[in-house]
A and B are shown apart, each in its own frame.
Chain A
Amino acid sequence: MRYLNPLFRLLTLCGALAAVGLLPRGVSAELTATANHDRITIGFFYHGSSVSVRGSADSGCDLIIKIASPDGSQTLKKKGKQAGFLWMNVGSLHLEEAPHLYALHSTGDLGAIVNKGEREKYVLGYDALARQVKMSPVADDAEKERWFGEFVRFQEHSGLYAASIGKILVRNENGKKNYYILTQWPYQAQPGVYTVTVYAVKGGRVVETAETKVSVEQVGLVKRLAGMAKDHGGVYGLLSILAALGAGFGVGMVFRKGGGAH
């Protein structure tokens, strides 16, 4: 039954705008991956979502699932000590080729199941990510490592970076390995298209990959307000002010009536 689902989706994909890519790229095409949604909509009452990924793989493989945004740049403020004991912002840190969201789940310890070269090639794990990310200003590698660690802590704090071992549920059936993972989708993740990549690893090497996309977009009032704030700042500002003035007067009037009564 599970094999029908991707086929059905492929057929509907032809005409639809849904961005599901079901492209088992391995030669043997053993590995499959499907996300429960391909589109997360951010509406008025949005408070994050959950995304599950399921599929099957060759039974002898370990699995790594990476959910990531495209690489981008960001500038953060660094805190440091001044005058010996006062903590405050001491400058900024610019990062490049750093994904805004990066979650990595695996069936075993990364270092044990996949070798270093492959980890770096596919950017698997924080160590591999640290090599990819460019940072400035940093004086030397030690400083870079220290600030990368701080960066990961900062991102994990917002729920945007995560790493886990053993969260993937696996069941061997008919010589196949069926897997399933349920992850919380952080509400802090910005609108955009995210890629879920499943890596099947064997003997320290990635033998197959499969990917699917999850798009996150704003809809309805949220989208309209965000768009207006960005594109028509003046009108948006005036409306915000008028609404505030109206609310202030309105409540004032209510209280005057209430106050006159006693």
Chain B
Amino acid sequence: MYLYLPVALTSINILIPVGLGLAVGLLSGLFGVGGGFLMTPLLIMFGIPSTVAAATDSNQIVAASTSGTYAHWKVGNVDFKMGLYLLAGGFVGGLIGVQGIKVLNAMGNADFVIKMTYVLMLGIVGSYMFVESLQSMRKKRTDTAEPGEESGLARFLRALPLQTRFEKSGVTHSVLVPLFFGGFVGILAAVMGVGGGFLMVPVMVYILRMPMHVVVGTSLFQILFNCIEVTFLQAYTNHNVDFILAVLLLIGSTFGAQIGAIFGRKLKGEQLKIILACIVLAVTVRIIFELTMTPPLLLGRSGGH
């Protein structure tokens, strides 16, 4: 059955967005990512204009992350305190990032810089997570308790003022740490035009040293607020949110997020990390292919990437 999308000005078979929503919602509930890095290109592939695809996806993520946050909160896996600090940092970072894009556009070549940043970030994050989780899976098998060799970064982080305890995550950090890294991810996410879940998750795991299951819940909580803001701005300034498309997507994604959260409880932290790493690497490879192969059409609609 086909439905007409009033803002995208195109018609789509309803099974496509519902199926995509289910798949991406599942990933969202499992890993605490919004899944924009998968959903937006898929929507474009199915004929949705790129600007509408990105804006509508953020509306859909509001639903998926509400559903996911709720599921994780029920089992006590959301660190609200940490989430709020990260959000505050991310908000400021987003503002800086938007200015950054203006500077890049003024310099010309913005697209090149953005695409390269995106590929590098995905590649680095994916490879690091893959290698690290593989190593920790191997170590787990040989010896259980590993004496913590403190890195320079960890020592520096502990020396900072305003140390506070994050109960849920079981870690102690200076409040400056989540503020700073939230801001850092916020800048990159704004420049790349993505939600940044795939960056925030590794930051929480490797820098903030939070347990993987709390990371997923907290990341979703944070993504929820980011996407509310983005949806509103997109609807208000660019008129790019397609309500019908969003509803079709969220029918799938809200259920997907619940199923993902249930599955996630059955998997170990390392298993979650390594699967996420594989997905991020697969997306990296896909983008590299897209960049190097001659596109079938040399013209495209304006907006988006």
The reply to whether A89 and B111 contact each other, CB–CB distance below 8 Å, is: yes
User: Interface on chain B toward A: helix, strand, loop, or mixed SS?
Assistant: helix
Nearest Cβ on chain B to A118's Cβ, whole angstroms? 30
Q: With an 8 A cutoff between CB atoms, is A163 at the interface? A: no
- In chain A, what residue has the closest Cβ to B304? A77
Taking a contact as CB atoms closer than 8 A, the residue among A87, A147, A239, A243 that contacts B293 in the complex is A87
Q: With an 8 A cutoff between CB atoms, is B141 at the interface? A: no
The reply to whether B63 and A187 contact each other, CB–CB distance below 8 Å, is: no
Stretch at the interface among B153-161, B182-190, B196-204, B246-254: B246-254
Chain B residues, Cβ within 8 Å of A187: 4, 10-11
Within 8 A of B (CB), among A36-95: 42-48, 75-80, 82-83, 85-90, 92-93
The reply to whether A244 and B292 contact each other, CB–CB distance below 8 Å, is: no
Complex Cα spacing A218 to B244, Å: 15
- In the complex, the number of residue pairs spanning A and B with C-beta atoms less than 8 Å apart equals 180
The reply to whether A248 and B254 contact each other, CB–CB distance below 8 Å, is: yes
Chain B residues, Cβ within 8 Å of A79: 295, 297-300
Q: With an 8 A cutoff between CB atoms, is A151 at the interface? A: yes
Complex Cα spacing A156 to B1, Å: 24
Taking a contact as CB atoms closer than 8 A, the residue among B2, B62, B69, B299 that contacts A151 in the complex is B299
Chain A residues, Cβ within 8 Å of B69: 248
Nearest Cβ on chain B to A179's Cβ, whole angstroms? 30
Chain A residues, Cβ within 8 Å of B64: 248
The reply to whether B62 and A43 contact each other, CB–CB distance below 8 Å, is: no
The reply to whether A226 and B71 contact each other, CB–CB distance below 8 Å, is: no
Q: With an 8 A cutoff between CB atoms, is B179 at the interface? A: no
Chain B residues, Cβ within 8 Å of A234: 232, 235-236
Q: With an 8 A cutoff between CB atoms, is A245 at the interface? A: yes
Taking a contact as CB atoms closer than 8 A, the residue among A44, A230, A237, A252 that contacts B71 in the complex is A252
Taking a contact as CB atoms closer than 8 A, the residue among B7, B234, B294 that contacts A87 in the complex is B294
Nearest Cβ on chain B to A258's Cβ, whole angstroms? 9
- In chain A, what residue has the closest Cβ to B70? A252
Taking a contact as CB atoms closer than 8 A, the residue among A223, A230, A243 that contacts B239 in the complex is A230
Chain B residues, Cβ within 8 Å of A218: 6
Q: Which of B4, B255, B297 has the most CB of A within 10 A?
A: B4
- In chain A, what residue has the closest Cβ to B1? A45
Q: With an 8 A cutoff between CB atoms, is B9 at the interface? A: yes
Chain A residues, Cβ within 8 Å of B6: 218, 221-223, 225-226, 229
Within 8 A of A (CB), among B265-305: 290-302, 305
Complex Cα spacing A256 to B74, Å: 9
Chain B residues, Cβ within 8 Å of A243: 63, 243, 246-247
Chain A residues, Cβ within 8 Å of B111: 88-90
Q: Size band of the B side of the interface? A: 35 or more
The reply to whether A47 and B234 contact each other, CB–CB distance below 8 Å, is: no
The reply to whether A237 and B232 contact each other, CB–CB distance below 8 Å, is: yes
Given known pairs A43-B4, A87-B294, A256-B74, the reply for A82 and B63 (CB within 8 Å) is no
Complex Cα spacing A261 to B197, Å: 33
Chain B residues, Cβ within 8 Å of A75: 302
Chain B residues, Cβ within 8 Å of A89: 111, 300, 305
Nearest Cβ on chain B to A220's Cβ, whole angstroms? 10
Chain A residues, Cβ within 8 Å of B251: 247
Complex Cα spacing A153 to B302, Å: 17
Complex Cα spacing A8 to B262, Å: 66
- In chain B, what residue has the closest Cβ to A79? B298
The reply to whether A222 and B4 contact each other, CB–CB distance below 8 Å, is: yes
Nearest Cβ on chain B to A181's Cβ, whole angstroms? 23
Given known pairs A88-B112, A237-B236, the reply for A251 and B298 (CB within 8 Å) is no
The reply to whether A248 and B299 contact each other, CB–CB distance below 8 Å, is: no
Chain B residues, Cβ within 8 Å of A44: 3-4
Chain B residues, Cβ within 8 Å of A237: 231-236, 241
Nearest Cβ on chain B to A216's Cβ, whole angstroms? 11
Nearest Cβ on chain B to A217's Cβ, whole angstroms? 12
Given known pairs A150-B299, A187-B10, the reply for A229 and B291 (CB within 8 Å) is no
Interface residues of B (CB under 8 A from A): 1-4, 6-7, 9-11, 47, 59-60, 62-71, 74, 111-112, 115, 228, 231-237, 239, 241-244, 246-247, 250-251, 254-255, 257-258, 262, 290-302, 305
A selection of 17 A-B contacts at a CB cut-off of 8 Å is: A42-B4, A43-B4, A76-B301, A77-B301, A78-B299, A87-B290, A87-B294, A157-B296, A225-B243, A233-B235, A236-B239, A236-B243, A243-B63, A243-B247, A244-B63, A248-B257, A255-B71
Top 9 A-B pairs ranked by shortest CB distance?
A248-B66, A237-B235, A252-B70, A244-B62, A244-B63, A251-B254, A47-B2, A226-B6, A46-B4
